[in-house]
Amino acid sequence: MNLLEYEAKQLLKNSDVPTPSSQLILDANTHITLPVVLKSQVPTGGRGKHGGVIVATTKDVASDAIKTLFTLPIKGFVPKKILAEELLLIRCEFYLSISIDRDTSTIRLLAHKSGGMEIESEDHESFFSRIISTDFKQVGDELADYLAIPNLAFTLGDIVKKLYHCLIENDATLIEINPLILTTDTRLVAGDAKIVVDDAAQFRHADWKSYEYRPDDSNFVLLDDHGTVATIANGAGLAMATVDAVEESGLHSANFLDIGGGANKESVLDAFRTITKQSSVKAIVINIFAGITRCDEVAKAIIAAKQQIDFLPPLFIRLTGTNADAANTLLNEHHISQFPSLKACISAVKESVEK
Ligand code: GDP
Ligand code: MN
C-alpha cells in the first residue's frame, strides 16, 4: 500500500526525521500561516509538474490556490486533503531512499546529488548506492562526501539511521525522500515523502485502517484495460479456468476475480462496481461452483447490481452448488436467466459481444 505524503511524513516525524512544519487542510475555509507551500494529497508522484504544488505568499493567492487544488485532477485523482507546509528556502535538492533489496535480502540506500522533479531522467549509474549495515557513521561520511556537504556527515548518518528504523518499525518496503532539501540556513529537511508499506503486515498495524488508499480486499486483478469480457468466479482455479475459457473462445478477458469462499452480497456487489468502472467491458460472466460460497448470496448481489448500477453490461450466469435452488428462485422472480454450463455461457457471450 502506498501512503499519501502527509501520512508518510507523519511516520517520518514519529521517527524524528526532520520534516517541514505543516497543517492539513480539509476545506477551503481553513486559516493558514503564510508564506506556505500548498500540496495536493493525491496517491501519485509528479504533482509538481501537474500544478499540484503551489507556493503562496499572500492570503488571496493561498485561498485561490486551495480552491484550484481541490478541483484539479492529477492523473485522475482529486485530493480530499491539501497539505500546507512552511515555505523552505532551498539551497539544493537531493534524492534519498531506502528500500528492501529483494535480490540480496538487504536494505539499500540510494542517493542522488540532483533530486527533485527531474530525477527520472538520471541514469542508474550516477546514483550513490549502498547496502546499509548498522554502521551509520560510515554511511553518513560516504554520503556527505558524495553529496559534497562534508559538514553534514553526522546529520546525514543520523537521518539514514532514523529512516532505517522507520522502515523496519513500519514494515515499509520503501521510503523515498525526493527532494531532501538543504535549506539556505543549512538544515536538511524531507521536502516530499513516499512510503510503501508491505500489505502482508497489515495484521499487526491497526493504525493502517485510517489510511486513505487502502488496497482493495478483493482478489480483483486487471488483465487488460481493453478487455471486453469480465469474469467473476469462486476459487482461484475456477477463476483461472473461466478466464482461459473466454480467451480460448477468441474473446478478450478484462480481469481475473476470485470472490473467495466468504463472499456475501456486499462483497460481490463491490466486484460489480469495480468491473463496471472499466468502459471496455461488454459482458460479465459469472461462474460459480459453490461450496462454502452460497449461490443465494451471489444471486442477491446480481439482483442488487441490476437495480443499482447504471449501464451494467449484460450478465451471463452459471450458478451451481450450495443453495442453488434458493438462487434459482430469486433469479426467476426477477426474470434473470441462467445458463446450464460455462460452455453455454461463453457461446452466448460470443454472440452478444460480436454482434
Ligand atoms: P512531486 O512533484 O509530486 O514529487 O512533489 P514534491 O513534493 O517533490 O514537490 C515538487 C517540487 O516542489 C520540489 O522538487 C520542490 O522544488 C518544490 N517544493 C516542494 N516543497 C517546497 C518548499 O517547501 N519550498 C519550496 N521553495 N519549494 C518546494
Ligand atoms: Mn517529490
Closest CA to 5 of 246, 194, 133: 194
DSSP state letter for 301: H
**Structure confidence at residue 75 (pLDDT):** 78
* Rounded Cα–Cα distance for residues 161 and 177 (Å): 14
Is 211 annotated as catalytic? no
Report the nearest atom of ligand 1 relative to the CA of 45: 3
pLDDT score for 29: 86
Ligand 2 geometric centre to CA of 129 (Å): 19
Residue with the three cell numbers 510503501: 196
pLDDT value for 215? 65
Ligand 1 contacts CB of residue 85 (under 6 A) = yes
Each of the 355 residues of the chain gets a pLDDT tens digit; together they read 889 999 999 999 999 999 999 999 999 888 899 999 999 999 888 999 999 999 999 999 999 999 999 999 887 788 999 999 999 999 999 999 999 998 899 999 999 999 998 888 888 889 999 999 889 999 999 999 999 999 999 999 999 999 999 999 999 999 999 999 999 999 999 999 999 999 888 889 988 988 987 766 567 888 888 999 999 999 999 999 999 999 999 999 999 999 987 788 888 888 898 888 888 999 999 999 999 889 999 999 999 999 988 889 999 999 999 999 999 999 999 999 999 999 999 999 999 998 8
Residue nearest to atom 12 of ligand 1 (CA): 48
Between β-strands 229-233 and 194-197, what pairing exists: parallel, antiparallel or unpaired? Answer: unpaired
pLDDT at position 218, please? 67
Q: Check pocket membership of 79 for ligand 1, CB cut-off 6 A.
A: no
- Among 95, 122, 146, 169, the active-site one is 95
Nearest ligand atom owner, CA of 49: 1
Collapsing DSSP to helix, strand or coil, 172 comes out as strand
Active-site residue among 85, 93, 176, 297? 176
179 alpha carbon to ligand 1 midpoint, in Å? 7
Provide the angle, in degrees to the nearest 10, between the axes of the packed helices 265-276 and 295-308: 40
Cα-to-centroid distance, 319 and ligand 2 (Å): 49
Spatial contact of 96 and 152, defined as CB atoms under 8 Å apart: no
